[in-house]
Structure 1
Amino acid sequence: MTLTAEPLTAEAFAPFGEVIETGGPFVTINEGACRRFTDLATFDIAEGRAGLSLFQAEIRAPPYDCTLLERHPLGSQCFIPMQSSRFLVIVAADAGGVPGTPRAFVAADHQSVNIARNTWHGVLCPIAGSGLFAVIDRIGAGGNLEEHRLGRPIRVTL
């Protein structure tokens, strides 16, 4: 299967989570030198707490062959590039315990994503930038990772 990554928009990504970006309402703070865009994501955490981690991912050159999808049944997972960075987001709704039809998005250098709890997704896949991401996700006891190896890779092109 070959997917062409589509631009990441809030409307197109809504079934899989939230797009986080500036551009909406804000409050001016710090003596007028800063815009605060408040409460941009809903962290869905069960039986644990939200934690902040840093991920250092390798930059991957398109086309990208996705061989693994994973999901987190106990919490959403938010990916925030630490520097201007583009990345692929491969997602699929659940279809009876396995990934359904996948979709691929390319996040612009000003966008982040909060992937909804139980949404199948590919691994972190930066295609430009430093590969350094802040990740907000569930910290706690219990299994919060399910993996599904694909019989055939999904090739993602731009």
Structure 2
Amino acid sequence: MASAPRVPLALRPLTAQAFAPFGQVIDTQSASQRVAINAGTCQRHHDLGRPSADGGALAFNLFVADAVACPAPLRLMERHHRGSQSFAPFGAALRMGIVVAAPTLDAAALAPEHLHGFITDGHQGINLNAGVWHHPLLALDAGPWLVVDRVGAPGDAPDCEVLDISHWHLEVKN
């Protein structure tokens, strides 16, 4: 059987306005306030994202990711109904590809034409709104990522809906 052709999904530059339907961009440019703190030795870039954790707690995690080579196949989409999820480079300039779709779509309705692709500039992170479909971390540069997400209470059902999209034969290119 002949394999299906790969369909490219272009990643466009990440901006707060373009990403607004899916969450917030985390960078020093998107801060609603900049405040000098700690006796003037530090700038607080305030309110960069609004994490949510319905019925659970927020957890700070460190992911050390290998870089993916583009074109990179897209294999699955996932979403978390009860909490947001944030990804930000940790200690280094690291780029990531972002593939998202609206939270209003159920798994049976999600199709390739619903996907949006973005690429960070190496200094940006994101906070995904609860329920937003997203591909797992697509690190374009290897290194550490700070991830903030919801950890459920003991006995909670898992809050990660996963959809296999490998049969769509999509790949990201940058």
TM-score under structure 1 length normalisation:
0.92
For residue 97 of structure 2, what is the aligned residue in structure 1?
Answer: 88
Q: What do residues 106-135 of structure 1 show as CA deviations (whole Å, max 9, x unaligned)? A: 0111101001111110111111242x1111
SS at match of 1:133: strand
What SS does the corresponding residue of 2:116 show, helix, strand or coil? strand
Q: 1:58–1:125: 8 Å Cα contact kept in structure 2?
A: no
Q: Give how far 1:55 is off.
A: 1.1
Alignment-derived partner of residue 27 in structure 1:
35
Are 1:133 and 2:149 matched, yes or no? no
Partner of 2:168: 152
How far apart are residue 95 of structure 1 and its match? 5.3
Offset of 1:20 from its aligned partner?
Answer: 0.8
Please tell me whether the aligned partners of residues 84 and 129 of structure 1 are also in contact (alpha carbons under 8 angstroms). no
Q: Report the structure, 1 or 2, having the larger helix content.
A: 2
Q: Deviations over 1:77-129 (max 9, x none)?
A: 00111121001111011454123500110011110100111111011111124
Compare the two structures and name the one with the higher strand fraction: 1
Q: Which protein is bigger by CA-based radius of gyration?
A: 2
RMSD value over aligned CA atoms? 1.4
Unpaired segments ≥5 residues, structure 2: 1-6
Matched, 1:142 2:157: yes
Contact 1:20 1:41 survives alignment (8 Å): yes
Deviation of residue 62 (structure 1)? Answer: 1.1
* More divergent stretch after superposition (118-127 vs 94-103): 94-103
Q: Alignment partner of 1:51: what SS?
A: strand
Q: Which moved more, 1:89-98 or 1:100-109?
A: 89-98
Any residues of structure 2 matched to 1:7-156 within 5 Å, and which? 7-23=13-29, 24=31, 25-82=33-90, 83-94=92-103, 96-98=105-107, 99-100=110-111, 101-130=114-143, 132-140=144-152, 141-150=156-165, 151-156=167-172
Q: Secondary structure at the match of 2:74?
A: strand
For the Cα contact (< 8 Å) 2:66–2:141, is it kept in 1?
Answer: no
TM-score, length-scaled by structure 2: 0.84
- Give the count of matched residue pairs: 157
**Letter of the structure 1 residue corresponding to residue 141 of structure 2:** A
Gaps of 5+ in 1: none
